Structure 1
Amino acid sequence: MPAVRPRRCLSAARGSADPMMGRRLSKLAALIAPLTLSFSPATAQESPAAPAAAPAPVPTEYVYVALTVPQGVITLALDKTHAPLTTANYLKYVDSKKMDGAVFYRAMHFDYDHEQGLLQGGVRNPANLLPPVAHEPTSKTGIKHVAGTVSMARFAPGSATADFLILLTDMTSLNADEGNQGKDPGAGFAAFGHVVSGMDVVRKIWNAPLSPTKGQGVMKGQILENEVKIVTARRTKAPPTAL
Protein backbone atom coordinates (compact mmCIF):
# COMPACT_ATOMS: atom_id res chain seq x y z
CA MET A 1 0.00 0.00 0.00
CA PRO A 2 1.58 3.36 -1.05
CA ALA A 3 2.50 5.78 1.70
CA VAL A 4 0.01 8.57 2.31
CA ARG A 5 1.52 11.99 1.76
CA PRO A 6 0.47 14.37 4.57
CA ARG A 7 -1.68 17.26 3.41
CA ARG A 8 -0.16 20.67 3.84
CA CYS A 9 -2.35 22.86 5.98
CA LEU A 10 -3.47 26.03 4.21
CA SER A 11 -3.49 28.06 7.45
CA ALA A 12 0.08 27.07 8.21
CA ALA A 13 1.13 28.25 4.76
CA ARG A 14 -0.43 31.63 5.41
CA GLY A 15 1.57 31.98 8.59
CA SER A 16 4.79 31.10 6.80
CA ALA A 17 7.76 33.44 6.75
CA ASP A 18 7.69 33.25 2.92
CA PRO A 19 5.34 36.05 1.73
CA MET A 20 5.57 34.87 -1.89
CA MET A 21 4.16 31.45 -0.93
CA GLY A 22 1.26 33.15 0.80
CA ARG A 23 0.40 35.25 -2.23
CA ARG A 24 0.57 32.17 -4.53
CA LEU A 25 -1.82 30.22 -2.32
CA SER A 26 -4.20 33.16 -2.19
CA LYS A 27 -4.27 33.31 -5.98
CA LEU A 28 -4.81 29.53 -6.16
CA ALA A 29 -7.71 29.74 -3.71
CA ALA A 30 -9.29 32.46 -5.85
CA LEU A 31 -9.05 30.24 -8.94
CA ILE A 32 -10.46 27.13 -7.25
CA ALA A 33 -13.43 28.84 -5.59
CA PRO A 34 -15.50 29.54 -8.76
CA LEU A 35 -14.97 25.98 -9.98
CA THR A 36 -16.07 24.58 -6.64
CA LEU A 37 -19.22 26.69 -6.67
CA SER A 38 -20.17 25.83 -10.24
CA PHE A 39 -19.85 22.08 -9.54
CA SER A 40 -21.27 22.03 -6.02
CA PRO A 41 -23.03 18.85 -4.79
CA ALA A 42 -26.34 20.69 -4.63
CA THR A 43 -26.15 21.62 -8.32
CA ALA A 44 -25.27 18.04 -9.31
CA GLN A 45 -28.27 16.66 -7.42
CA GLU A 46 -30.64 19.05 -9.18
CA SER A 47 -29.62 17.70 -12.64
CA PRO A 48 -28.95 13.93 -12.34
CA ALA A 49 -27.63 12.17 -15.39
CA ALA A 50 -30.38 10.42 -17.38
CA PRO A 51 -30.03 6.61 -17.55
CA ALA A 52 -29.01 5.19 -20.92
CA ALA A 53 -32.01 4.09 -22.96
CA ALA A 54 -32.25 0.38 -23.82
CA PRO A 55 -31.75 -0.34 -27.54
CA ALA A 56 -34.96 -0.82 -29.48
CA PRO A 57 -35.63 -4.44 -30.55
CA VAL A 58 -34.84 -5.17 -34.18
CA PRO A 59 -38.07 -5.94 -36.09
CA THR A 60 -38.19 -9.39 -37.66
CA GLU A 61 -38.07 -9.43 -41.46
CA TYR A 62 -39.99 -12.33 -42.98
CA VAL A 63 -39.88 -13.70 -46.51
CA TYR A 64 -43.08 -15.52 -47.49
CA VAL A 65 -43.18 -18.64 -49.66
CA ALA A 66 -46.32 -20.34 -50.99
CA LEU A 67 -46.12 -24.13 -51.45
CA THR A 68 -48.90 -25.27 -53.77
CA VAL A 69 -49.92 -28.93 -53.35
CA PRO A 70 -52.99 -30.81 -54.63
CA GLN A 71 -54.67 -30.32 -51.22
CA GLY A 72 -54.25 -26.53 -51.21
CA VAL A 73 -51.60 -23.91 -50.38
CA ILE A 74 -49.21 -23.82 -47.44
CA THR A 75 -47.66 -20.39 -46.81
CA LEU A 76 -44.38 -20.22 -44.92
CA ALA A 77 -42.95 -17.15 -43.16
CA LEU A 78 -39.15 -17.49 -43.23
CA ASP A 79 -37.22 -15.52 -40.61
CA LYS A 80 -34.53 -13.65 -42.52
CA THR A 81 -33.49 -11.67 -39.44
CA HIS A 82 -32.67 -14.46 -37.00
CA ALA A 83 -31.87 -17.36 -39.38
CA PRO A 84 -30.37 -15.62 -42.42
CA LEU A 85 -28.23 -18.53 -43.66
CA THR A 86 -30.96 -21.16 -43.48
CA THR A 87 -33.54 -18.82 -45.00
CA ALA A 88 -31.20 -17.90 -47.86
CA ASN A 89 -30.53 -21.60 -48.52
CA TYR A 90 -34.25 -22.41 -48.77
CA LEU A 91 -34.87 -19.42 -51.03
CA LYS A 92 -32.16 -20.63 -53.43
CA TYR A 93 -34.24 -23.75 -54.03
CA VAL A 94 -37.41 -21.68 -54.40
CA ASP A 95 -35.95 -19.06 -56.75
CA SER A 96 -34.22 -21.65 -58.96
CA LYS A 97 -37.46 -23.69 -59.03
CA LYS A 98 -35.60 -26.70 -57.67
CA MET A 99 -38.32 -26.98 -55.01
CA ASP A 100 -40.93 -27.52 -57.75
CA GLY A 101 -41.57 -31.25 -57.84
CA ALA A 102 -40.24 -31.81 -54.31
CA VAL A 103 -42.46 -34.05 -52.21
CA PHE A 104 -43.84 -34.53 -48.73
CA TYR A 105 -43.02 -38.14 -47.99
CA ARG A 106 -42.88 -38.68 -44.21
CA ALA A 107 -45.59 -38.24 -41.58
CA MET A 108 -44.21 -39.07 -38.14
CA HIS A 109 -46.79 -39.84 -35.46
CA PHE A 110 -45.69 -40.41 -31.88
CA ASP A 111 -46.51 -43.91 -30.63
CA TYR A 112 -47.84 -42.55 -27.33
CA ASP A 113 -49.97 -39.82 -28.93
CA HIS A 114 -50.99 -40.08 -32.57
CA GLU A 115 -52.12 -36.44 -32.55
CA GLN A 116 -48.49 -35.29 -32.21
CA GLY A 117 -45.68 -35.43 -34.73
CA LEU A 118 -44.21 -33.78 -37.81
CA LEU A 119 -44.41 -33.73 -41.61
CA GLN A 120 -41.22 -34.00 -43.65
CA GLY A 121 -40.58 -33.12 -47.26
CA GLY A 122 -37.83 -32.09 -49.61
CA VAL A 123 -36.03 -32.44 -52.91
CA ARG A 124 -35.59 -36.11 -53.79
CA ASN A 125 -33.67 -35.65 -57.06
CA PRO A 126 -29.93 -35.59 -56.20
CA ALA A 127 -29.23 -33.54 -59.33
CA ASN A 128 -31.22 -30.65 -57.83
CA LEU A 129 -29.38 -30.55 -54.52
CA LEU A 130 -27.18 -27.56 -53.68
CA PRO A 131 -24.19 -27.51 -51.28
CA PRO A 132 -25.20 -27.93 -47.61
CA VAL A 133 -25.82 -24.92 -45.40
CA ALA A 134 -24.01 -24.04 -42.17
CA HIS A 135 -25.98 -25.00 -39.07
CA GLU A 136 -27.83 -22.22 -37.22
CA PRO A 137 -28.84 -23.68 -33.83
CA THR A 138 -31.82 -22.39 -31.87
CA SER A 139 -29.38 -21.34 -29.12
CA LYS A 140 -28.23 -18.60 -31.52
CA THR A 141 -31.39 -17.82 -33.50
CA GLY A 142 -33.87 -17.97 -30.63
CA ILE A 143 -36.45 -19.63 -32.93
CA LYS A 144 -37.95 -22.50 -30.95
CA HIS A 145 -39.61 -25.70 -32.13
CA VAL A 146 -43.30 -25.12 -31.46
CA ALA A 147 -46.40 -26.13 -33.42
CA GLY A 148 -46.18 -24.76 -36.96
CA THR A 149 -42.41 -24.28 -36.93
CA VAL A 150 -40.45 -24.95 -40.13
CA SER A 151 -37.03 -26.54 -39.52
CA MET A 152 -34.28 -28.25 -41.50
CA ALA A 153 -33.74 -32.01 -41.46
CA ARG A 154 -30.10 -33.07 -41.17
CA PHE A 155 -27.57 -35.72 -40.26
CA ALA A 156 -24.50 -33.98 -38.80
CA PRO A 157 -24.62 -30.21 -38.15
CA GLY A 158 -23.88 -28.46 -41.43
CA SER A 159 -25.21 -31.28 -43.62
CA ALA A 160 -28.72 -29.90 -44.30
CA THR A 161 -29.64 -29.31 -47.93
CA ALA A 162 -33.32 -29.26 -48.96
CA ASP A 163 -35.21 -31.56 -46.57
CA PHE A 164 -37.41 -29.67 -44.14
CA LEU A 165 -39.85 -30.39 -41.32
CA ILE A 166 -43.19 -28.84 -40.37
CA LEU A 167 -44.16 -29.46 -36.75
CA LEU A 168 -47.73 -30.39 -35.88
CA THR A 169 -47.07 -29.89 -32.15
CA ASP A 170 -44.42 -28.41 -29.86
CA MET A 171 -41.21 -30.48 -29.89
CA THR A 172 -38.71 -28.91 -27.50
CA SER A 173 -36.42 -31.93 -27.89
CA LEU A 174 -35.41 -30.51 -31.30
CA ASN A 175 -34.04 -27.32 -29.72
CA ALA A 176 -30.29 -26.93 -29.16
CA ASP A 177 -28.88 -27.09 -25.66
CA GLU A 178 -28.49 -23.67 -24.06
CA GLY A 179 -25.19 -22.10 -25.07
CA ASN A 180 -24.54 -24.67 -27.82
CA GLN A 181 -22.43 -23.20 -30.63
CA GLY A 182 -23.65 -25.51 -33.39
CA LYS A 183 -21.85 -28.78 -32.77
CA ASP A 184 -23.17 -32.13 -31.60
CA PRO A 185 -24.00 -33.36 -29.09
CA GLY A 186 -26.84 -30.96 -28.37
CA ALA A 187 -26.86 -28.87 -31.58
CA GLY A 188 -30.54 -29.56 -32.24
CA PHE A 189 -32.16 -28.65 -35.55
CA ALA A 190 -32.19 -25.33 -37.42
CA ALA A 191 -35.64 -23.76 -37.12
CA PHE A 192 -36.02 -20.89 -39.58
CA GLY A 193 -39.69 -19.96 -39.87
CA HIS A 194 -43.28 -21.05 -39.38
CA VAL A 195 -46.48 -21.81 -41.26
CA VAL A 196 -48.52 -18.63 -41.41
CA SER A 197 -51.49 -20.13 -43.27
CA GLY A 198 -52.46 -23.59 -44.49
CA MET A 199 -51.93 -25.67 -41.36
CA ASP A 200 -55.18 -27.43 -42.26
CA VAL A 201 -53.49 -28.52 -45.51
CA VAL A 202 -50.44 -29.71 -43.56
CA ARG A 203 -52.67 -31.78 -41.30
CA LYS A 204 -54.50 -33.34 -44.28
CA ILE A 205 -51.21 -34.58 -45.70
CA TRP A 206 -49.99 -35.72 -42.28
CA ASN A 207 -53.18 -37.76 -41.78
CA ALA A 208 -52.89 -39.50 -45.17
CA PRO A 209 -52.40 -43.30 -45.17
CA LEU A 210 -48.95 -44.64 -44.26
CA SER A 211 -47.14 -47.57 -45.83
CA PRO A 212 -46.51 -50.49 -43.46
CA THR A 213 -43.41 -51.54 -45.41
CA LYS A 214 -41.73 -48.39 -46.78
CA GLY A 215 -38.86 -46.76 -44.93
CA GLN A 216 -35.88 -48.05 -42.99
CA GLY A 217 -34.91 -47.91 -39.35
CA VAL A 218 -36.86 -45.34 -37.34
CA MET A 219 -38.65 -44.21 -40.51
CA LYS A 220 -40.29 -47.57 -41.18
CA GLY A 221 -44.05 -47.14 -40.86
CA GLN A 222 -43.74 -43.33 -41.14
CA ILE A 223 -43.58 -43.05 -44.93
CA LEU A 224 -46.69 -41.93 -46.81
CA GLU A 225 -48.24 -44.54 -49.04
CA ASN A 226 -48.51 -41.88 -51.74
CA GLU A 227 -46.06 -38.98 -51.74
CA VAL A 228 -47.58 -35.51 -52.06
CA LYS A 229 -45.90 -33.40 -54.73
CA ILE A 230 -45.15 -29.70 -54.27
CA VAL A 231 -46.44 -28.43 -57.61
CA THR A 232 -44.84 -24.99 -57.23
CA ALA A 233 -42.90 -23.10 -54.58
CA ARG A 234 -42.93 -19.32 -55.06
CA ARG A 235 -42.24 -16.18 -53.09
CA THR A 236 -45.46 -14.43 -52.19
CA LYS A 237 -46.88 -11.53 -50.21
CA ALA A 238 -47.78 -11.82 -46.56
CA PRO A 239 -51.29 -13.31 -46.24
CA PRO A 240 -53.89 -11.26 -44.36
CA THR A 241 -53.50 -13.48 -41.27
CA ALA A 242 -49.82 -12.49 -41.04
CA LEU A 243 -50.48 -8.72 -41.01
Structure 2
Amino acid sequence: MLGPTAEIDRRSLLVSLLATPLGAAAAGPVQVRLATGRGDIVLELYPDRAPITVANFLAYADQHLLDGGSLYRTVGPWNDNNPATISVIQGGLNRDDSPLPAIAHETTRQTGLRHTDGVISMARDAPGTAGAEFFICIGDNPALDFGGARNPDGQGFAAFGRVVEGMDVVRAIHKAPAVSSAGDPYLKGQMITEPVRIQTLSRN
Protein backbone atom coordinates (compact mmCIF):
# COMPACT_ATOMS: atom_id res chain seq x y z
CA MET A 1 0.00 0.00 0.00
CA LEU A 2 1.35 3.43 -0.96
CA GLY A 3 1.90 6.03 1.72
CA PRO A 4 0.74 9.68 1.27
CA THR A 5 4.12 10.86 -0.04
CA ALA A 6 4.37 8.04 -2.58
CA GLU A 7 0.82 8.72 -3.78
CA ILE A 8 1.63 12.42 -4.33
CA ASP A 9 4.82 11.50 -6.22
CA ARG A 10 2.88 9.11 -8.46
CA ARG A 11 0.28 11.76 -9.25
CA SER A 12 3.02 14.28 -10.04
CA LEU A 13 4.67 11.79 -12.39
CA LEU A 14 1.38 11.14 -14.21
CA VAL A 15 0.73 14.86 -14.59
CA SER A 16 4.24 15.44 -15.97
CA LEU A 17 3.91 12.57 -18.46
CA LEU A 18 0.59 13.85 -19.72
CA ALA A 19 2.07 17.31 -20.15
CA THR A 20 5.12 16.22 -22.17
CA PRO A 21 5.59 17.30 -25.80
CA LEU A 22 5.62 13.61 -26.76
CA GLY A 23 2.01 13.24 -25.70
CA ALA A 24 1.06 16.36 -27.63
CA ALA A 25 2.96 15.27 -30.72
CA ALA A 26 1.21 11.90 -30.79
CA ALA A 27 -2.11 13.63 -31.57
CA GLY A 28 -0.68 16.02 -34.15
CA PRO A 29 -0.11 15.47 -37.88
CA VAL A 30 2.41 12.84 -38.93
CA GLN A 31 4.23 12.88 -42.27
CA VAL A 32 5.17 9.86 -44.36
CA ARG A 33 7.07 9.68 -47.64
CA LEU A 34 5.88 7.49 -50.49
CA ALA A 35 8.93 7.04 -52.71
CA THR A 36 7.86 5.88 -56.17
CA GLY A 37 9.41 5.23 -59.55
CA ARG A 38 7.94 8.54 -60.73
CA GLY A 39 9.06 10.65 -57.76
CA ASP A 40 8.27 11.17 -54.08
CA ILE A 41 4.87 11.93 -52.57
CA VAL A 42 4.82 13.34 -49.02
CA LEU A 43 1.61 12.74 -47.09
CA GLU A 44 0.42 14.45 -43.92
CA LEU A 45 -1.75 12.14 -41.80
CA TYR A 46 -4.24 13.15 -39.09
CA PRO A 47 -4.28 10.73 -36.13
CA ASP A 48 -6.39 13.14 -34.09
CA ARG A 49 -9.23 12.86 -36.61
CA ALA A 50 -8.83 9.35 -38.03
CA PRO A 51 -6.84 7.44 -35.39
CA ILE A 52 -7.66 3.89 -36.53
CA THR A 53 -6.94 4.52 -40.20
CA VAL A 54 -3.73 6.46 -39.53
CA ALA A 55 -2.45 3.80 -37.11
CA ASN A 56 -3.04 1.17 -39.80
CA PHE A 57 -1.16 3.13 -42.48
CA LEU A 58 1.72 3.86 -40.10
CA ALA A 59 1.94 0.15 -39.26
CA TYR A 60 2.37 -0.57 -42.97
CA ALA A 61 5.04 2.15 -43.15
CA ASP A 62 6.92 1.07 -40.02
CA GLN A 63 6.93 -2.59 -41.04
CA HIS A 64 7.73 -1.73 -44.70
CA LEU A 65 4.80 -3.85 -45.87
CA LEU A 66 4.02 -1.62 -48.86
CA ASP A 67 7.61 -1.52 -50.11
CA GLY A 68 7.55 -3.17 -53.53
CA GLY A 69 3.85 -2.53 -54.02
CA SER A 70 2.59 -0.20 -56.74
CA LEU A 71 0.25 2.54 -57.86
CA TYR A 72 -1.69 0.46 -60.35
CA ARG A 73 -5.07 2.04 -61.09
CA THR A 74 -6.19 5.37 -62.52
CA VAL A 75 -9.83 6.50 -62.61
CA GLY A 76 -11.24 9.63 -64.22
CA PRO A 77 -14.24 10.80 -66.24
CA TRP A 78 -12.78 9.23 -69.40
CA ASN A 79 -12.74 5.65 -68.02
CA ASP A 80 -14.99 5.53 -64.95
CA ASN A 81 -17.50 2.69 -65.07
CA ASN A 82 -19.60 4.04 -62.21
CA PRO A 83 -22.18 6.82 -62.80
CA ALA A 84 -20.92 8.58 -59.64
CA THR A 85 -17.71 9.67 -61.37
CA ILE A 86 -14.47 10.19 -59.46
CA SER A 87 -10.83 11.08 -60.20
CA VAL A 88 -8.26 9.08 -58.22
CA ILE A 89 -5.17 6.92 -58.43
CA GLN A 90 -5.12 3.70 -56.40
CA GLY A 91 -2.19 1.87 -54.89
CA GLY A 92 -1.18 -0.87 -52.50
CA LEU A 93 -0.37 -4.53 -52.95
CA ASN A 94 -3.12 -5.21 -55.50
CA ARG A 95 -4.23 -8.47 -53.96
CA ASP A 96 -7.32 -9.70 -52.13
CA ASP A 97 -5.63 -10.42 -48.79
CA SER A 98 -3.68 -7.98 -46.62
CA PRO A 99 -0.67 -8.63 -44.35
CA LEU A 100 -2.42 -6.94 -41.41
CA PRO A 101 -6.03 -7.37 -40.17
CA ALA A 102 -8.76 -5.23 -41.73
CA ILE A 103 -9.71 -2.12 -39.77
CA ALA A 104 -12.92 -0.52 -38.55
CA HIS A 105 -14.40 2.06 -40.94
CA GLU A 106 -14.03 5.74 -39.96
CA THR A 107 -16.51 7.73 -42.03
CA THR A 108 -16.04 11.31 -43.16
CA ARG A 109 -19.02 12.21 -40.99
CA GLN A 110 -17.03 11.02 -37.96
CA THR A 111 -13.68 12.55 -38.93
CA GLY A 112 -14.80 15.77 -40.60
CA LEU A 113 -12.36 15.09 -43.44
CA ARG A 114 -13.57 15.30 -47.04
CA HIS A 115 -12.38 13.81 -50.31
CA THR A 116 -10.89 16.99 -51.73
CA ASP A 117 -7.87 17.47 -53.99
CA GLY A 118 -4.85 15.56 -52.70
CA VAL A 119 -6.65 13.67 -49.94
CA ILE A 120 -5.58 10.06 -49.26
CA SER A 121 -8.23 7.53 -48.31
CA MET A 122 -8.71 3.78 -47.94
CA ALA A 123 -10.10 1.53 -50.66
CA ARG A 124 -12.57 -1.07 -49.40
CA ASP A 125 -15.39 -3.46 -50.20
CA ALA A 126 -17.85 -3.63 -47.29
CA PRO A 127 -17.30 -1.26 -44.35
CA GLY A 128 -14.61 -2.69 -42.10
CA THR A 129 -12.66 -4.47 -44.85
CA ALA A 130 -9.96 -1.85 -45.58
CA GLY A 131 -6.38 -3.06 -45.28
CA ALA A 132 -3.45 -2.28 -47.59
CA GLU A 133 -5.17 -0.59 -50.54
CA PHE A 134 -5.47 3.21 -50.68
CA PHE A 135 -6.22 5.98 -53.15
CA ILE A 136 -5.36 9.66 -53.66
CA CYS A 137 -7.92 12.16 -54.94
CA ILE A 138 -7.37 14.43 -57.93
CA GLY A 139 -9.80 17.32 -57.54
CA ASP A 140 -12.85 17.25 -55.26
CA ASN A 141 -14.72 13.94 -55.06
CA PRO A 142 -17.85 14.37 -52.89
CA ALA A 143 -19.24 11.05 -54.18
CA LEU A 144 -16.65 9.37 -51.92
CA ASP A 145 -17.81 11.10 -48.72
CA PHE A 146 -20.35 9.71 -46.25
CA GLY A 147 -23.73 9.76 -47.96
CA GLY A 148 -22.10 9.97 -51.40
CA ALA A 149 -23.34 7.93 -54.34
CA ARG A 150 -20.13 6.07 -55.14
CA ASN A 151 -20.94 3.11 -52.91
CA PRO A 152 -24.51 1.77 -52.46
CA ASP A 153 -24.10 1.44 -48.67
CA GLY A 154 -23.73 5.24 -48.37
CA GLN A 155 -20.89 4.95 -45.84
CA GLY A 156 -18.30 6.52 -48.11
CA PHE A 157 -14.59 5.93 -47.69
CA ALA A 158 -12.13 6.65 -44.87
CA ALA A 159 -10.09 9.79 -45.61
CA PHE A 160 -7.13 10.17 -43.27
CA GLY A 161 -4.58 12.62 -44.72
CA ARG A 162 -3.49 14.66 -47.71
CA VAL A 163 -0.58 15.23 -50.08
CA VAL A 164 1.67 18.11 -49.00
CA GLU A 165 4.45 17.52 -51.58
CA GLY A 166 4.43 15.70 -54.90
CA MET A 167 0.97 16.42 -56.25
CA ASP A 168 2.66 16.78 -59.65
CA VAL A 169 3.67 13.12 -59.34
CA VAL A 170 0.09 12.15 -58.50
CA ARG A 171 -1.26 14.02 -61.52
CA ALA A 172 1.33 12.44 -63.83
CA ILE A 173 0.37 8.96 -62.64
CA HIS A 174 -3.30 9.84 -63.11
CA LYS A 175 -2.58 10.45 -66.80
CA ALA A 176 -0.62 7.21 -67.27
CA PRO A 177 -1.76 4.87 -70.08
CA ALA A 178 -4.09 2.08 -68.98
CA VAL A 179 -4.99 -1.24 -70.56
CA SER A 180 -8.28 -1.26 -72.46
CA SER A 181 -9.49 -4.60 -71.08
CA ALA A 182 -9.72 -6.22 -67.64
CA GLY A 183 -10.95 -9.47 -66.15
CA ASP A 184 -13.44 -7.46 -64.08
CA PRO A 185 -15.57 -5.25 -66.39
CA TYR A 186 -15.75 -2.63 -63.63
CA LEU A 187 -11.98 -2.10 -63.96
CA LYS A 188 -11.93 -1.92 -67.74
CA GLY A 189 -9.60 0.83 -68.97
CA GLN A 190 -8.36 1.62 -65.45
CA MET A 191 -5.39 -0.66 -64.76
CA ILE A 192 -2.16 1.19 -65.49
CA THR A 193 -0.18 -0.45 -68.29
CA GLU A 194 3.11 -0.08 -66.41
CA PRO A 195 2.26 0.15 -62.69
CA VAL A 196 4.37 2.67 -60.79
CA ARG A 197 6.48 0.86 -58.20
CA ILE A 198 6.33 1.91 -54.55
CA GLN A 199 9.99 1.83 -53.59
CA THR A 200 9.43 2.63 -49.92
CA LEU A 201 6.78 3.98 -47.58
CA SER A 202 8.33 5.42 -44.43
CA ARG A 203 7.91 8.17 -41.86
CA ASN A 204 9.28 11.45 -43.17
The normalised TM-score by structure 2 is 0.78
Once residues 108 and 75 of structure 2 are traced to their aligned partners in structure 1, the CA distance between those partners, rounded to angstroms, is: 22
Q: Does 1:104 align with 2:58?
A: no
**Residue 205 (str. 1) matches residue 173 (str. 2):** yes
1:169 matched to 2:136? The reply is: no
| Alpha-carbon distance between aligned partners in 2 of 1:127 and 1:210, rounded to the nearest angstrom | 24
Q: Hey, what does 2:194 align to over in structure 1?
A: 226
- 1:132-179 CA-partner distances (Å, limit 9, x unpaired): 01000000000011010100000000000010010001010111139x
Alpha-carbon distance in 2 for matches of 1:147, 1:88: 22
Q: How does 1:54-69 map to 2 (within 5 A)?
A: 61-69=28-36
Q: 1:195 corresponds to which residue?
A: 163
RMSD: 2.3
Q: 1: distance between equivalents of 2:134 and 2:161?
A: 11
1:17 corresponds to: none
Cα pair distance change 1:215/1:117, threshold 3 Å: farther
Q: Is the 8 A contact 2:79 2:189 kept in 1?
A: no
* Whole-angstrom CA distance in 2 between matches of 1:185 and 1:126: 20
Q: Look up the match of 1:20.
A: none
**Worse overlay, 58-67 or 211-220:** 58-67
Query: Is the CA contact 1:98–1:128 (under 8 Å) kept in the aligned structure 2?
Result: no
TM-score, length of structure 1 as denominator length: 0.66
What CA distance in whole angstroms lies between the structure 2 residues aligned with 1:81 and 1:62? 8
Contact 1:61 1:79 in 2 (8 A): yes
1:182-206 superposed Cα distances (whole Å, 9 cap, x missing partner): xx72211000000011000111111
Higher relative contact order structure (alpha carbons within 8 Å, sequence separation ≥ 6): 2
| Alignment partner, residue 145 of structure 1 | 115
Q: Secondary structure at the match of 1:230?
A: strand
**Cα distance in structure 2, aligned partners of 1:187 and 1:125:** 23
Q: Is this contact kept in 2: 1:215–1:223, CA < 8 A? A: no
Distance (whole Å) between structure 2 residues aligned to residue 205 and residue 91 of structure 1: 23
Distance verdict in 2 for CA 1:134–1:173, change over 3 Å: same
Give identity over the alignment, percent. 42
User: After TM superposition, which residue ranges in structure 1, 4 or more long, deviate above 4 angstroms?
Assistant: 125-128
Q: Highest CA radius of gyration, 1 or 2?
A: 1
Report the residue type matching 1:75 in the other structure: V
Residue number among 93, 104, 111 corresponding to 1:134 in the alignment: 104
Q: Report the alpha carbon displacement of residue 215 of structure 1 after superposing the two structures with TM.
A: 4.8
Gaps of 5+ in 2: 1-23, 81-85
Q: Summarize the Cα distance change of 1:202–1:112 in structure 2 as closer, same or farther, 3 Å threshold.
A: closer
Question: How many residues in Structure 1 have an aligned counterpart in Structure 2?
Answer: 172
CA displacement at 1:127 relative to structure 2: 7.0
Residues 74 and 197 in structure 1, CA contact (< 8 A), matched pair in contact too? yes
Q: After superposition, what is the alpha-carbon deviation per residue over 1:84-124, rounded to whole angstroms, capped at 9, x for unaligned?
A: 000000111110010101110100011399xx711000123
Note if contact 1:123-1:129 (Cα within 8 Å) is conserved in structure 2. no
Q: Which residue of 2 aligns with 1:85?
A: 52
C-alpha distance in 2 between matches for 1:70 and 1:137:
31
Which of 146, 151, 156 is the equivalent residue of 2:126?
A: 156
